[in-house]
Every structure is written in C-alpha cells, then in structure tokens.
Structure 1
Amino acid sequence: MLKFFEQEARYPRREDVPKAAVDYVVGQVKVDGGLFAAYDFASRQATNHRSQIREFYGFREPTVADEDKLIFWLGRDMCPVETSRERLRAALLARCREERMEPPTPKQVERLVGAAEAMFEREFTTVTMERLPVAAVTALQELIKVPDPDPNGEGDGRDGGGAGMRSFLQELKEDPGPLQLETLLAEIGKLERVKAIGLPETLFEGTSEKVVEAWRARAMRMYPSDFAAAPPRVCMTLLAALCWVRKTEMIDGLVELLIQLVHKISVRAEKKVENEISTEFRRVHGKHGILARLAQAALDLPEELVRTAIYPVVGADTLTDIVAEAKANEKAFNARVRTKLRGSYSRHYRRGLPKLLRALVFRCNNAAFQPVMDALKLLDRYDGSEAVFYDGAELVPLEHVVPEDWQEAVVDERGRVERIPYELCVLVALRKAIRRREIWAEGAKIWRNPDDDLPADFDDNRDVHYEALVKPRDPAAFIADLQRRHTAALDRLNTAMRKGTAGGVKITRKKGEPWISVPPIDKQEEPASLKALKQEISHRWGVIDLLDVLKDVAHVTGYTAAFTSVASRTITDPAVLQRRLLLCLYGLGTNVGIKRVADGVAAAAVPGTRSTTRRRCAVPAGCSSTVTTCARRSARWSTPPSPYATSGYGGRVPRARRTRASSAPGRPTS
C-alpha cells in the first residue's frame, strides 16, 4: 500500500496489486505470501494503515470545501476544453495529488465529475443563449417544428414527418449525395438556409472545438420531440451547435464537390473523345507494315546507324509523314476534348456556377494567384449576363489562368475573350489552387486558411518551431537539400534497374507519358507467433460463433454498460436495457433491422428498442462488420453463459445449447 500510494497517490484495491509486486515484497520482508490474500482492505486495521501512510507522505483528508473547489476547478478550467470523462477523472486525481489531498473514492470521483459537468453545462448554455439574437432563436425554433405528415406516407412521425414530408432538421443532418450537379445545388440551398438563421460569429468564442463537436454529436442523435422535451437553454444550444458545425462541414463539402466535379467533367470529356476516335481511320496508308519493317530492321542491325539501317527500309519522307500525322492527331484530339468540355459545361454544369460563387467566399494569401481571384470577381460581375464575349474594356486576366493550349479556344482572331471556355479555365485553375492550399474558403475547416494551422506563437518563436521540425529557415537550403535527396534516390533506382535488383520496378508509358510502374507487394508469410496463437485458440475452444461470444461476454463482463446515453439521466432497469442493447446489436450487425427484431418480441418493446438505439452510442463499425459474417442463422440470445467464460484455460469447451430459429427473422427465444 505504501509503494502504491507513492506511485499513484491513491490507495490500492486488491486487484490493483500485481502478483509480481506481492512476491517481491514477500521475498524482501521474509513473510508468508498468504498474508496478503487474507488481508481485509475494509477492516479497522486497514483504516489505520491508510492513516499512517497519509501522514507519512503529508497528505490530508478532503473536506466539503475542498470538494467544492475541485468541482469549481473542473467546471471552469477543464470542462471547457475536455469532453472525455476518463481524462476528467485523471485530471481530478492529478489535482488532488498537487494539493496533497487524499483522492476520493471512485464513486466520489464520478459524483464530482458529474457536478462539474452540470455546472459547466449551465454556464455554457446560459452564455450561448445570451449571445443568440432573438431572430436566430426564432429561426432555431422553426427547425424542430414537425411538418404535417403525408396521409399516404408511413412512419411514426418521430423523424420529422412521414415518407412524403421531410423537415429541414432531417435534411441538415444528412451528408451530400452522389457526385452530380443536383447534389451541388442541394448543398448550396442547405448552406444558404443555415446562413439565414443568423448565428453570430462570436457565438462560441472562447469555447473549445471539441466541446462544440460533442454538442453537435449529441444533437445529431436527437429527434424533434427530444429537442422539444429538453430545457429551452439546452435545446437552443444543441441546435446552435448543430447548425454551427454543419455549416462548416457543408462549406468543406461544397469545396470537395467543386474539386471532384471539375475533375469529373474533364475526365469524361477525354474518355468520350478517346472512344470516338478509337474507331476512326487515322493512319498513313500501310503504316502497320511500315512499322513492322522498321522494328525488324532495328532488331536485325542493332549496331548500325539510323541512316544505314532504317532509311533503306523506310524512307525519311515516310517517317516525316508519320510524325506529322501523330502531331496532327494530338492537336485534333485536344481540340475535340475542348469541344466536349464546352458542350457539357454550357448545357448542364454552368447553371450551378453562379450559385456556388455566391455561396462560397474564397480568399488568397499568395500574390502569385491573384489573377485567379481577379477572374472569380470578373465571373461574379457577369452573373446573369447573356453576352457571349467579355466587354473589350474589361481587364480579363489570362496569365496563370488560361493554359497555352487553350489560348486559341478562349481568344478569337479579333482578340475577344469568350466567356464559356474562359469560365472552364477559371474553374480548372481554381481547383489546382485550392488543392495546393493557395486559395482557401472562408468558414471552412478542412479547406480553411493554412495560416490558421500554424501555432499561435509561430511568428514570435519561429526558430524553436523550425528546430523542432529539423528544417532550415532558409528556403534555398531546404530546396537544395530536397533536390539532393531526390537526385540520390533516383540514382539508386537507376542503378538498381540497370542491375535488375529493383524488385520488379520498371519504366513504362501511360497515356503517352513515362511512368514508373511498381508491382504489387507479394503476400507476406504469416508470423509464427500468430500461427501458433490461432492453433492454440482452435485447440482450446474450437470454432465459436461471434454472436455467441458477444452475448456470453456481455452476460459475464457487462460491457454493455459502456454504451452511454446522450440523455441527462437513465431510468430504465439495467437488465432491461442490456437486453435491448443486445437486440439492437443483433439487428444492426445482421442487417435484419431494429424494427424486424422488435417484431419478434412484445409489441410494447418496439418503441423502447428503437429509443435505445438512438439514445445509446452506435455499435462500433468493426463490430457490425464482423458480426455480419456469421449472423444469418438462428437467434441465440437466451443461451446461458458458456463455461469458457469462467472455467479458465484448458480443454475444449462444450458448445452451448441452441434453439431452433422461429419464423420471424432475428426473433429472440426469451
């Protein structure tokens, strides 16, 4: 107990003391090891021992005033920046150690942490409510108003309407749909409606992002009826956090959609042109025979000069014609790609560009990309105009915006700039700049200002941060070192390929360009320890269905208690709650569904089971995916705990008794 208190600043329980430590102390003091097993940690003697240890290390027992100070410290300093209860408990114990106080019992720790969280929640919701304008409060209240359900639709009305009516709250929680223009327009509409709520920019100023994210996650699992049942301050804070975080996520999603859509229309245009010209006749007469003779001559006379070996077989004029044809085909190919791009953009995607530029606000910190920003402003000024060309008096940025091979498609022979191809060039340049983080979106998180990713004291302590990164401050030195390492790596690759020791890496061509091809990694040999572990598990327990394991372990260890509720309290009996969680686990893991599982039990259990699903943490993704592999069989939830859970190691465990599945899929047997 003395050494444990010295290390952990708390008194140990019997299970906290490892056997190795007991054996070591027994060897030091020369006593019987059975004395520790017979020691009563709840006896008066143990109380005296704890008092002596406390006095020896200069600790004191906490008073009621100390507990109030701990609650205030947790609620004021820790809860605004930390949401994990485990870390809050650790912080509380560390604080007690600093104050030389005897740490509270586990139950007291839970009570103190809960009181601190309640204090912080009261202060946080009060401050948030005071910062919300009246108009914003009214708009947030409109979110939880359930529309009249469709008389022909189905549903219980808890999700914000029937099949034919969907509330904006339900749409707000949904992620973007498939990659298409309609998805882009739908996300723009959602973003505009969230902005119309009018949340102030300083709403969550001074609050950690983790705290706001936690309130957003809590709101995502709630229905309109749950918001209505919550206290007004809590309800408004939940809705404000949901809208605040979702607005940032939607801005990031729109930027992602922009990047992917620009790439999509470019790739689709190239594929269409490639498919069209693949069947066309594009060759010099007899070119296949010429190329065959050319290759044969090169093989027969590898040491001869080109003029001596090749020209007698294929004349110089014929080779010149083949080269000219290839260049003409490449030029025609690029022209046809531009035509396809223009047609696809002008007929379909162009109608979403003005709305996107109004919804997103782009910023730039690099003067080299200012032409792209000027081009975006030009596009915004011509929004709604039906002119084909830009006005001659306009200063249209072309450098760093329009590629060289697009110049003739954008600028006609009279020097006029056509709008449609220019807009395409602007979108492509914008996509490249965003991916390089040279242009960023205001209000985003992923695509935010890259300067915000730097430490707050970066400018003042630049030397310290560069030293931590092991990078030079001089950009020229950094570039020179990078070039040196790249050159050395390419030299090693070149040497290995020449000697045939590159492991299958070779130089090929992809779309006419040189390409380094890396073969897939061969299947590695299974580690001997893992193979031995599998054999031992199979020998001891045989093949056990995963559903049996999950159910039996739940009965023995009670791991379902780790599923915490998003509500402020829980009044359901723990045994009933465990059974409902196991049913939910079965329904989610087997893809049977919660409602179909609930159909196998009493009708009164239907709302309770569905409520448990939405109020408890979701089953981890890995658990659901592995459960699916063996779950499409009969239900086994009434089986008593298997002997393997308590019998220790040794021998094959008999299989648990199974029951025949009923007619309803997933119906439990008890």
Structure 2
Amino acid sequence: MSLHTARIVIVGAGLSGLYAAYLLARQGVTDYVVLEAREAPGGRIASADASGQVVSHGAAQASPVDRFDLGPAWFWPGYQRELGRLIENVFEQLSPVTHERLDSLLRPEKAGNEESGADAHEEAIGSAPAVLLKLRGSPGRPSLASMQDELAKLELIRGIELPADLFDGTSPRDLERCRQRVSVEVPRGLRRHPDVARITWLAAFVYLRARSLTDDLVDLLIETIHQIGARAERKVERELLEDLKRVSGKQNLLFNLADATLTQPDGVVRDVVFPVVDEQKLRDLVKEWKATGPTYRTTLRTVIRNSYQGHYRRMVPTLLAALQFRSNNDRHRPVMDALDLVKRFVDTKVHTFPPDEDVPLDGVVRGLWREAVMEKDAVGRDRVNRVTYEIAALEALRERLRCKEVWVVGANRYRNPDDDLPADFDLNRKDYYRALNLPLDAERFIADLQAEMGDTLSTFMKKSCRRCRNASIRRKTSQFDWLTEISAVPAYNL
C-alpha cells in the first residue's frame, strides 16, 4: 500500500498510531498506511526495530527485558519473539484437558440438562463468564463470608491443575503481560484470539491469580483474627464503662474502713461499715476493680471464645486444608506443631486434648490465654482446652505471618523469604554481607542498631527540644529506647 493509493493515513507509529492501525486491521480495513519518521516504530519508547532486534538508546544497549515495553508488542506479536516463544512453549506443555478447562472459563453458563452427563468438576469450571468475572474480583471486608468466597475462587483455580513447574524461569514481567490481557479484555474478545495465545494468557492469569488469592486469604486471616479480639475488647469495655464510676480517695476509704472494723470487730456490717463508707461507694469501687482487674481479662477471654466458637471456628478446617504454612527457623517450630495438632483434631468433638498428647505451650500460648488454656479433668490431671488452644495458636500464627517468620506455599507476598535471596547466597554469604556493610553476627547488628537509635534520639532532643532541659534517654526492660518524660523549662532566648 502506497501513500497515493491509501484511503487512510496515520501519522506517527507511536502507541496511539499503532493502536489505530490495529483497530482498522481488526475491522478488515486494509487501505491504510502508517507514517513514521524514525527508523523504528513504537514512538519514544521503541526498543526494537522492524525485525524485532533490540536497538540502542544513545551509548547504552537496551536490555532484553526492555523490548517488552514497546508499543508494537501489544498489537503486532511479531515484535515479541521471546514472548512468542514463551507462548508456544507453554501451549505445548499443557494437555488438551487443561486447554479445555482453561477455555471453559470463557464460555457462557450451560443449562442444567446439557451438563447432566458431565463430570462435576468440569461443571464447576464451566460456569463462565460469571466465573472469570468473579475470579477478577477483589476480596471484600475481612469476614467469614469474604474468606469463604476467596477459598472458593482458589479451589476453582486449583481444579484446573496447571503443572507446578509450568512457568519456572519465566520473567515476572512476561507473566504480567499475559495476565493483563485476560484482566482487561472481555471473555468474548478473548475467544477471538488464536488458541496458542489465548490458552497461554489464561494459564498465566490463573497462575498469578492463585498466588494473589493466597495472599488475600492470608490478609483476611490476619485481619479477622485481629478483629475477633478488637471487637471483644470494645464490647467488654462498653459494657463495663456504662456502669463504671471511678472512686477517688481510695486510701482514705481504706483507712476509714479499717479503723471502723477494728474498733467494732464483732459489729454488723450495715451498722459499722456503711456509716463510714456508704453502700453505693462500695459498689462503685467493686465495679471499678472488675473493669480494670482480673475480672476484665476473664470477661474478655469469655467474649472472644464465644465469638470464635459460635461463628469464626467454622473457617478453621477449610483454611488449614487450603493453606500450607511453613517456617525455615526451628525457633518457630512450636507454632507449626500447634497447627498440625489443631489440624489432626479439627474433625473431632473432644473438649480437651488427650492426656498423653504432646501439646506445645511455650511459644504458642501467651499473655491473655496462658492461665485459661489449662483445666482439670475428673481425676485432677492438667488438660488443655481445645477451643481455647485453637484461639491461642491462631493468634501466634498471625504474629509470625506478619513478620514473615512463617510463610505460605503458593503465595506471593507471603512466599518463602529464601526465594528473595540470590541463588548463591549460602556460598557467598560473607561477600553479600560485606557489600551491604552489615556484620555477620546478629548480636553485633542489634547493638549497632541500638547505638544508632540512641544517637538519633539524642540529636533529636538537642535540635528539636530546645525548651526542654530535663530530657534524657533511658533503657527499658523491653530492650527499646524511649524518651523519659520531658519537663519544660521557662522560655528563653537562644
């Protein structure tokens, strides 16, 4: 097609020009021409010539990854030779059954009679396009229902059964390119693409979506466990504070009460005590103690336990079956053993674990639950309450997940931390630490960090607290540095 015979002329082979040409070609229009003054199409971000070879940008040679940033890559696959090889390789590795399962995500939902003879698994996967749109959706607010929805999506994707090593060695950027095609295009449009490209795009989408769904499930788990305790705290505090009236002068009350009772040790309470300390004030004192003492903790535990047992506990069997938790540090082995123990007894109705069962407590049960998890059986033996132990184990799991001490198989953000290290890290550990200017000894690293924090806080006080003369740094037992209470002095001119 020459410039003189073309009915449509597109000036500029940048992103917009190429996309206009792409749309014309899809509609069957052939009498158009694209004009470009540069040697390569793609506009300012072009990184490949017409043959698909990487071109230089100034003195530097573009990296192989850069070729996937250019505009033509989206419209003319011939410019993406490496991505084209990836598409062909993935398509060849997948079986015809997997092709069918992936393609079924794009088909309309069939009538019940048409699927009466189909396998139940294929029937579940064949409920598209609603299924594909559902897979694209984000999780809702943290709740049991949201967790169940995300688990259903993950099970649907796992039912497609992609090979575990399908995308080993594939660039994350290439995978993301394929995923984006499925994420932004309607199912009807995806069905128009060639089989080899469509199947690979769907496979990449399913692979990455499974990882993001696993992350979403972990996020929901972390937030839901937090909400169980937070809601219980708000409920208990609201109920107690409604009746709470703080009593002032407790020492004087105690002195007057002691003096009255010692003066008349055999007297009647109403005749001896109430004239000195009235009955209502004593009731207020008892309510205050209940709101701040052991009674508060006991009430809080009861509310958390009832909320978990009555509503949230139903998520535990499915969640433990769907997610595989791992840890690379033996220090956190008790938490992993606790999860295994909970999983083994998840389908039983026992109230307490058997007396001969090894139940890990140290590193799992702490704080609020330490005294509540143990109870006596009929013969006076110490037994571990199963429901209370599950709550303590889930709270311990939440803390380990947040600091990446426990990771999840098949996740992305919660993946194995060792995957983020260079392949030769163990062999060249000293070289890497030297390059980062970090000590190999953990204790020395902590000491250096504490010293740096102390110096920074001292500088902060000198420069920012010019009116504070009694400020200092003190070391707390929790091994954190904190500012002591700052006493202000009268203003003065510097």
TM-score for the superposition, normalised by structure 2: 0.68
Residues 267-318 of structure 1 show CA distances to partners (whole Å, capped at 9, x for unaligned) of: 11111111011122566xxx32558999xxxxxxxxxxxxxxxxxxxxxxxx
Pairing 1:184-199 to 2, within 5 Å after superposition: 184-199=147-162
Residues 368-413 of structure 1 show CA distances to partners (whole Å, capped at 9, x for unaligned) of: 1101001111111112111111122211111111114423311103
Pair 495,170 (structure 1): closer, same or farther in 2 beyond 3 Å: same
Which of 63, 66, 69 aligns to 1:84? It is 69
Query: Aligned letter for 2:303?
Result: K
Determine if contact 1:342/1:420 at 8 Å carries over to the other structure.
yes
Whether 2:422 is the aligned partner of 1:455: answer yes
Determine if contact 1:363/1:440 at 8 Å carries over to the other structure.
yes
Corresponding residue for residue 609 of structure 1: none
1:470 positional shift: 2.0
Query: Aligned letter for 2:70?
Result: R
Two-structure CA RMSD over aligned residues (Å) = 3.9
Whether 2:195 is the aligned partner of 1:232: answer yes
Which of 81, 88, 111 aligns to 1:126? It is 88
Whether 2:97 is the aligned partner of 1:135: answer yes
Which of 400, 403, 417 aligns to 2:366? It is 403
Pair 467,68 (structure 1): closer, same or farther in 2 beyond 3 Å: same
Cα distance in structure 1, aligned partners of 2:445 and 2:164: 39
Whether 2:384 is the aligned partner of 1:428: answer no
Pair 121,454 (structure 1): closer, same or farther in 2 beyond 3 Å: closer
Pair 364,456 (structure 1): closer, same or farther in 2 beyond 3 Å: same
Corresponding residue for residue 298 of structure 2: 335
1:500 positional shift: 2.9
Cα distance in structure 1, aligned partners of 2:313 and 2:287: 36
Cα distance in structure 1, aligned partners of 2:228 and 2:68: 43
Query: Aligned letter for 1:479?
Result: I
- Number of equivalenced pairs: 378
Which of 450, 459, 472 aligns to 1:483? It is 450
Pair 353,195 (structure 1): closer, same or farther in 2 beyond 3 Å: same
Cα distance in structure 2, aligned partners of 1:254 and 1:455: 28
Corresponding residue for residue 242 of structure 2: 279
Query: Aligned letter for 2:391?
Result: L
Corresponding residue for residue 471 of structure 1: 438
Whether 2:248 is the aligned partner of 1:288: answer yes
Whether 2:53 is the aligned partner of 1:70: answer yes
Q: Give the stretch that moved more between structures: 369-378 or 483-492.
A: 483-492
Pair 358,177 (structure 1): closer, same or farther in 2 beyond 3 Å: same
Which of 311, 317, 330 aligns to 1:367? It is 330
Pair 170,475 (structure 1): closer, same or farther in 2 beyond 3 Å: same
Corresponding residue for residue 7 of structure 2: none
Cα distance in structure 1, aligned partners of 2:443 and 2:484: 32
Determine if contact 1:410/1:417 at 8 Å carries over to the other structure.
yes
Determine if contact 2:105/2:129 at 8 Å carries over to the other structure.
no
Corresponding residue for residue 124 of structure 2: none
Corresponding residue for residue 136 of structure 2: 173
SS of alignment partner, residue 455 of structure 2:
helix
Residues 459-495 of structure 1 show CA distances to partners (whole Å, capped at 9, x for unaligned) of: 2332332233221222222122112223334455667
Residues 304-361 of structure 1 show CA distances to partners (whole Å, capped at 9, x for unaligned) of: xxxxxxxxxxxxxxxxxx8997598321111111101001100110001111111111
SS of alignment partner, residue 412 of structure 1:
strand
Corresponding residue for residue 157 of structure 1: none
SS of alignment partner, residue 455 of structure 1:
coil
Corresponding residue for residue 256 of structure 1: 219
SS of alignment partner, residue 70 of structure 1:
coil
Whether 2:109 is the aligned partner of 1:147: answer yes
Query: Aligned letter for 2:308?
Result: Y
Identical aligned pairs, as a percentage?
Answer: 35
Determine if contact 2:105/2:128 at 8 Å carries over to the other structure.
no
1:130 positional shift: 1.1
Pairing 1:295-310 to 2, within 5 Å after superposition: none
SS of alignment partner, residue 407 of structure 2:
strand
Determine if contact 1:371/1:399 at 8 Å carries over to the other structure.
yes
Which of 179, 183, 198 aligns to 2:146? It is 183
Determine if contact 1:71/1:116 at 8 Å carries over to the other structure.
no
Determine if contact 2:52/2:79 at 8 Å carries over to the other structure.
no
Whether 2:233 is the aligned partner of 1:270: answer yes
Cα distance in structure 2, aligned partners of 1:72 and 1:323: 82
Pair 471,292 (structure 1): closer, same or farther in 2 beyond 3 Å: farther
Determine if contact 1:79/1:117 at 8 Å carries over to the other structure.
no
**Structure 1 unmatched runs, 5+:** 1-41, 43-65, 87-109, 150-163, 295-321, 508-513, 519-670
Cα distance in structure 1, aligned partners of 2:383 and 2:96: 52
Query: Aligned letter for 1:259?
Result: I
Pair 404,119 (structure 1): closer, same or farther in 2 beyond 3 Å: closer
Corresponding residue for residue 346 of structure 2: 383
Determine if contact 2:154/2:213 at 8 Å carries over to the other structure.
yes
Pairing 1:346-365 to 2, within 5 Å after superposition: 346-365=309-328
Query: Aligned letter for 1:393?
Result: D
SS of alignment partner, residue 418 of structure 2:
helix
Pair 269,466 (structure 1): closer, same or farther in 2 beyond 3 Å: same
Pair 496,131 (structure 1): closer, same or farther in 2 beyond 3 Å: same
Corresponding residue for residue 578 of structure 1: none
SS of alignment partner, residue 416 of structure 1:
strand
**Structure 2 unmatched runs, 5+:** 1-36, 38-48, 57-61, 112-126, 255-284, 475-480, 486-494
1:416 positional shift: 1.1
Highest Rg: 1 or 2?
1
Cα distance in structure 2, aligned partners of 1:268 and 1:506: 36
